[in-house]
Copies of this chain bind each other. A is one copy, B any other.
Amino acid sequence: MGRWLGWIVAAALALASLPASGGTLREDVRAWRLKNEKAVVGELADLVAIPNVADKVEDIDRNAEAVSALLARRGLKTKILSAGPGTPASVFGELKTPGARRTVVFYAHMDGQPAPRAGWFSEPFTAVMREGLPREGAPDIDWRAHQGPMNPEWRLYGRSTSDDKGPIVALMAALDAVRASGRKPSVNIKVFIEGEEEAGSPHLAKILAENRELLKADAWILLDGPVHQTRAPQVLFGARGVSEVEMTVYGPLRPLHDGHYGNWAPNPGVMLAHLIARMRGEDGRILIPGFGDGVRPLTPAEERALAALPPVEEQLRRDLALGRTETDERLLNAISRPSINLRGVAAGGVGEAANNAVPTEARASIDFRLVPDQTPQKVRERFEAWLRAEGWHIVYEAPTPEVRAAHPKLIRLDWNLGYAAVRTDMDLPVSKAVIASVERGAGRPPLVVPMLGGSVPMHFFAELGAPVLLVPMVNHDNNQHAVNENLRLQNLWDGIEIYAALIADLRW
């Protein structure tokens, strides 16, 4: 009750006291936002309503059309970029600022992770407002009928509310707010909205290479990933890379009664369990010999930046009901190393679907998180060499019965090679300017993080030659990539203020 009262009073005071323009940039942006909350949320809800899994090219095309319209409404010249027919579109936009010396490209992505319905409390592609963390039976809030400022602890639920459509809509709102305040941008603005980031950006390199001139800039600022777990704003100077592989291990050609055949016919689930256990420890360590050779260590400055970050570990352990962590290191240190993540495993059936049968195959989906200077190709080579040393015969498509019969240990690999990691120098002028601008936009100094644990395709942009930084806005507890993804409204509001500062108040 106290908290509710607090923000209602604060919002009322803000509404009453703030002019639409005439204050600081931050004050003006906030005043604009308080009057336009419904329009901003509405724009995001409309965008979420367009399904956006990158393997459906026609869905991404519909997203591209909608995003282009958002940019055009803010006066940007837009262009659809594509690597060719049948590949998902990306959207480019440009807004020139007379007299500006610097050009910044703002990057976000409009595609999202797959969203099978199971486990979601409502349809993934229908944005629904609820208060707080995901909770079965939490009532939907009719925000369209709501009067006055919205409760900032409300969250908008739906695939890509946070990852990564929320930041697109925040950037649009920031442009509107800057304009409404009578200011103009301090830099030339380019916008690049990718259509297949969650699919590992398979055509990004081609699109960037074919549009080098169009995308020429002095810096790239990526709007993706979450703010700090303490809800503090942050600027990140890098991100891990990622490679994914689907593994299939084979048992008998048809399911067999496990009582009649179970000690004799090989059980692919057991083979896969042994493989996983030999690959990765319960402490998170990669057990593949030589896998981390040639990894670039953190610099002393990066180590210091990590050490300066506020501790989050105890709070997270409580929030997540963790009985242990895989390592005693700080979280950020743990995710600055290369890693193997088991994303899923499936064989036979469990619970209601369990049968007394030896399954015909067992599957596991893993990702490798890469740090500088690992490359996806090298990761693949080392992983496959290790598998062969362990006695596995590798194939890349469904094996025939003859191939299955010929190899005692047979594994199918389906690679999504992904991209490498980046760490940008924190001492560059642009690095310092972005930190200062975010501080003005947020009203407090951002945390400075050498490298994000998650992966964003900074690598492709870094190869164009300009420095690449990451300025996130969404809440850390957004269920990104999982069921019940959501965006906390206060993070949306903060994001608008920070991005407005990057638009109108970034100078170096």
Q: Which of B252, B319, B351, B455 is the one whose CB lies under 8 Å from A246?
A: B351
Q: A284 interface residue, CB < 8 Å from B? A: yes
Q: A242 interface residue, CB < 8 Å from B? A: yes
Jot down 19 A-B pairs with beta carbons below 8 A, ordered by A. Answer: A258-B343, A260-B453, A262-B341, A263-B339, A265-B322, A265-B325, A269-B342, A270-B282, A273-B345, A274-B276, A277-B278, A322-B404, A345-B346, A345-B350, A345-B362, A348-B365, A351-B363, A355-B481, A357-B481
Q: A389 interface residue, CB < 8 Å from B? A: no
Closest residue on chain B to residue A258 by CB atoms: B341
Bits for A334-347, please: 1 = Cβ < 8 Å to B, else 0.
11010101111111
A341-B356 contact given A255-B482, A327-B264, CB 8 Å threshold? yes
* Residues of A304-339 whose CB lies within 8 A of B: 316-327, 329, 331, 334-335, 337, 339
Q: A428 interface residue, CB < 8 Å from B? A: no
Q: A427 interface residue, CB < 8 Å from B? A: no
Given contacts A262-B369, A265-B322, A323-B404, 12 further A-B contacts (CB under 8 A): A226-B260, A257-B454, A258-B339, A258-B369, A269-B364, A273-B273, A318-B405, A323-B406, A323-B408, A343-B348, A345-B350, A356-B481
A116 touches B353 (CB 8 A): yes
A350 touches B356 (CB 8 A): no
Q: Which of B276, B356, B408 is the one whose CB lies under 8 Å from A273?
A: B276
| Chain B residues positioned under 8 Å from A365 (CB to CB) | 348-351, 354
A327 touches B263 (CB 8 A): yes
Q: How far is the CA of A189 from the CA of B134 in the complex (A)?
A: 62
Closest residue on chain B to residue A269 by CB atoms: B342
| Chain B residues positioned under 8 Å from A264 (CB to CB) | 284, 325-327, 329, 331, 334-335
Nearest 5 CB-CB pairings of A with B: A259-B454, A344-B348, A255-B482, A324-B408, A273-B276
Q: A101 interface residue, CB < 8 Å from B? A: no
A271 touches B282 (CB 8 A): yes
A267-B342 contact given A255-B483, A369-B262, A407-B323, CB 8 Å threshold? yes
Least distance between A244 CB and chain B CB atoms (Å): 8
Q: A367 interface residue, CB < 8 Å from B? A: yes
Q: How far is the CA of A242 from the CA of B453 in the complex (A)?
A: 46
Q: Classify chain A's interface size.
A: 35 or more
Least distance between A65 CB and chain B CB atoms (Å): 25
Closest residue on chain B to residue A455 by CB atoms: B259
B335 touches A259 (CB 8 A): yes
Q: A152 interface residue, CB < 8 Å from B? A: no
| Chain B residues positioned under 8 Å from A257 (CB to CB) | 453-454, 480-482
* Residues of A274-292 whose CB lies within 8 A of B: 274, 276-278, 280-282, 284
| Chain B residues positioned under 8 Å from A476 (CB to CB) | 260
Q: How far is the CA of A266 from the CA of B325 in the complex (A)?
A: 6
A250-B325 contact given A343-B258, A345-B346, A357-B343, CB 8 Å threshold? no
* Interface set of A (CB-CB < 8 Å, partner B): 113-114, 116, 133-134, 225-226, 240, 242, 244, 246, 250, 252-267, 269-274, 276-278, 280-282, 284, 316-327, 329, 331, 334-335, 337, 339, 341-359, 362-365, 367, 369, 401-402, 404-410, 452-455, 476-477, 479-483
| Chain B residues positioned under 8 Å from A284 (CB to CB) | 262-264, 267
B404 touches A260 (CB 8 A): no
A355-B335 contact given A267-B326, A322-B266, A482-B254, CB 8 Å threshold? no
Q: How far is the CA of A327 from the CA of B266 in the complex (A)?
A: 9
| Chain B residues positioned under 8 Å from A477 (CB to CB) | 254
Closest residue on chain B to residue A284 by CB atoms: B263
| Chain B residues positioned under 8 Å from A317 (CB to CB) | 405
Closest residue on chain B to residue A280 by CB atoms: B270
A255 touches B479 (CB 8 A): yes
A282 touches B266 (CB 8 A): yes
Least distance between A488 CB and chain B CB atoms (Å): 14
Closest residue on chain B to residue A351 by CB atoms: B246
Q: How far is the CA of A476 from the CA of B252 in the complex (A)?
A: 14
A405-B345 contact given A264-B327, A270-B282, A480-B257, CB 8 Å threshold? no
Least distance between A320 CB and chain B CB atoms (Å): 4
Q: How far is the CA of A240 from the CA of B242 in the complex (A)?
A: 48
Q: Which of B281, B319, B354, B455 is the one whose CB lies under 8 Å from A344?
A: B354
Q: How far is the CA of A345 from the CA of B274 in the complex (A)?
A: 13
| Chain B residues positioned under 8 Å from A331 (CB to CB) | 261, 264
Scoring A334, A363, A365, A367 by chain B CB atoms within 10 A of each residue's CB, the highest score goes to A365
Q: How far is the CA of A337 from the CA of B335 in the complex (A)?
A: 46
Q: How far is the CA of A276 from the CA of B410 in the complex (A)?
A: 20
